[in-house]
Amino acid sequence: MDTTIYPTIARRPDDPGDRDEETGADTRAASVINKPQAKEKASRDSFSTATFRDFLLKPELTRALVDCGFEQPSEVQQNCLPYSIYGTDTLCQANSGTGKTTAFVISTLQQLHPTDGEVSTIVLCDTSTLADQIKGEYTRLGKYLPKIRIGVFDGKTSLAADEKVLKDKALCPHIAVGVPARFKNLIALGQLIAENIKHIVLDECDKIMDDDGMRLNVYDIFKKIPQAKQVLMFAAAIDVQLRNRCKKLMHHPQEVFVDDDDAADRTLHHSFRQYYVNLTEQGKIQKLGNLLYELEFNQVCIFVKSSDRAERLDKILQEDCLPSTSDHSQLTQGTRISRFKDFKEFKKRIVVSTDTLSRCVDVSRVNVVINYDFPQNADTYFNRVGRAGRFGTKGIAISFVSSDDNRAVLQNVQDRFSITIPEMPANVQPYSQ
């Protein structure tokens, strides 16, 4: 393809304790870090001076972090890692884009002592897409730990195929990522040896524990695995009911609550710049086209309000010779994974998506987010624009405002996060000051 057509790249052992009758887990009180009701509002300009080297990680893990460009831990990582890398159960709430996945990947890789034929760590998540992403993060940070194998068990393969992998010592993963239903079945059939599991992670535990089916599968899994194991749970939102449910499965958990508004406040003030564009519905496509030709971007996420709009807009962009793809809930799981892989591997530089991509998806090259359709609330706004400016990198978020409802949500975003989002000036670029 002629590259002049589209923009160029800008460069523990267990104690008996009090046990829950249903799950057998400890229910005693935990210590809490940054608990919302006791947490002082952090200064907007306060940043951690710690580095990953301060955690005395495996040299191979430190080297991989350096290769990935990570030097200073995020607030979530700084608060979780001193406990989680030493086997303490940890319950963490923090918003999207704050480094939760990297926190548990580091914690489990640091403690892992691989034995062929044994799965010692399982990671539960709610979708195949997220499972695939988590595997990618393990692969990325475990690149200098070649003896460690990662496997995905998300129900897309047959139980017979999964059994074959688990029985072969040369293929059996040391870390298994997947959905609760498949792990429950593998353990029940004796294909996954529960006694070997030393660490269990629940990513997006709010979604897992709020779903009746997945929650019951999790309870069944916990009844089978040893009491002496580490439990790590991460979520963007944890209410009182969910907190109680999670703690029933944990042993003296360390609780880390990074205040949503406070984290969002620092992210929205420091990571990237935000603008809005006043226009009519009819003027959106022309303005989008102009932006894609004028902006110097690495990769772009464009958010719309429906699957149909995602498909139609993606088609228009492709017809204009732009390297676009789309992601939405109406696609098959296989198609979604394939398209996301193309985007993450830089084969596509533009993705048009519904809010399926606004949480739990981490693509480090994204430096431009465009709200083609303005989000319905402040939380969705934060999750969407959080795709750019990951871990403090520079980026830009541009929102199209075409109705009074849009303007009301825009005002709510500014009020809630104490920011001012100006109208977009001419000649703006992601890397300009």
- pLDDT above 80: residue 2: no
**What is the rounded average pLDDT of the residues 13-40?**
42
Cβ 102 vs Cβ 72: under 8 Å: no
Rounded Cα distance between 338 and 332, Å, is: 10
**Position 190, amino acid:** G
Model pLDDT, residue 33: 47
For the chain, give the mean pLDDT: 82
| Tokens (6 digits) for 78 | 């700084």
Domains of the chain, CATH where assigned: 32-39+47-258 (3.40.50.300), 263-417 (3.40.50.300)
- Distances in Å between the Cα of 153 and the Cα atoms of 208, 312, 327 are 16, 33, 22
At 317-348, the pLDDT tens digits run 999 989 999 998 888 877 887 888 888 888 99
- pLDDT above 90: residue 223: yes
| Tokens (6 digits) for 273 | 């710049």
Rounded Cα distance between 344 and 327, Å, is: 13
At 277-293, the pLDDT tens digits run 999 999 999 999 999 98
- pLDDT above 50: residue 109: yes
**Position 337, amino acid:** I
Q: How far apart are the first and last CA of the chain?
A: 32
Q: Which residue in the block uniquely carries the two structure tokens 């005693």? A: 28
User: Which residue would you say has higher pLDDT here, 305 or 261?
Assistant: 305
**What is the rounded average pLDDT of the residues 30-41?**
41
> Which of the residue ranges 39-48, 153-162, 336-345, 372-381 would you say has the lowest mean pLDDT?
39-48
Model pLDDT, residue 17: 40
> Which of the residue ranges 5-14, 141-150, 379-388 would you say has the lowest mean pLDDT?
5-14
- pLDDT above 50: residue 120: yes
Q: Which residue in the block uniquely carries the two structure tokens 């997947």? A: 178
CA angle 331, 334, 339 (to 5 degrees): 75
**What is the rounded average pLDDT of the residues 422-433?**
73
Model pLDDT, residue 366: 83
Q: How confident is the model at residue 383 (pLDDT cuts 50, 70, 90)?
A: confident
At 5, is the secondary structure helix, strand, or coil?
coil
- pLDDT above 50: residue 144: yes
The DSSP bridge partners found for residue 233 are 91, 202
Report how far Cα 54 is from the mean position of its chain's Cα atoms: 24
Residue 223 has phi, psi (to 5 degrees) of -70, -25
Most confident of 16-25, 133-142, 383-392: 133-142
Model pLDDT, residue 230: 96
Q: How confident is the model at residue 29 (pLDDT cuts 50, 70, 90)?
A: very low
Q: How confident is the model at residue 265 (pLDDT cuts 50, 70, 90)?
A: low
User: Which residue would you say has higher pLDDT here, 300 or 262?
Assistant: 300
Cβ 295 vs Cβ 347: under 8 Å: no
Rounded Cα distance between 188 and 352, Å, is: 41
Query: What's the chain's Rg over C-alpha atoms?
Result: 22
Report how far Cα 53 is from the mean position of its chain's Cα atoms: 23
Cβ 50 vs Cβ 74: under 8 Å: no
Rounded Cα distance between 344 and 364, Å, is: 8
- pLDDT above 60: residue 262: no
Rounded Cα distance between 227 and 26, Å, is: 9
User: Which residue would you say has higher pLDDT here, 268 or 293?
Assistant: 293
| Tokens (6 digits) for 389 | 């400016």
> Which of the residue ranges 13-27, 91-105, 167-181 would you say has the lowest mean pLDDT?
13-27
Model pLDDT, residue 257: 87
Model pLDDT, residue 37: 39
For residue 422, with 0-12 CB atoms within 10 Å meaning exposed, 13-18 middle and 19 or more buried, which class applies? exposed
At 63-98, the pLDDT tens digits run 998 887 776 888 889 899 999 999 999 999 987 777
Model pLDDT, residue 412: 92
User: Which residue would you say has higher pLDDT here, 299 or 25?
Assistant: 299
Residue 121 has phi, psi (to 5 degrees) of -130, 130
Q: What is the dihedral of CA 226, 81, 359, 200, to 10 degrees?
A: -10
Report how far Cα 431 is from the mean position of its chain's Cα atoms: 25
Q: Report strand pairing: 199-203 vs 396-401.
A: unpaired
Rounded Cα distance between 98 and 226, Å, is: 31
Cβ 143 vs Cβ 64: under 8 Å: yes
- pLDDT above 80: residue 270: no
- pLDDT above 60: residue 27: no
Q: Which residue in the block uniquely carries the two structure tokens 């400016």? A: 389
Rounded Cα distance between 138 and 201, Å, is: 13
Q: What proportion of the chain, given as a percentage, has pLDDT over 90?
A: 54
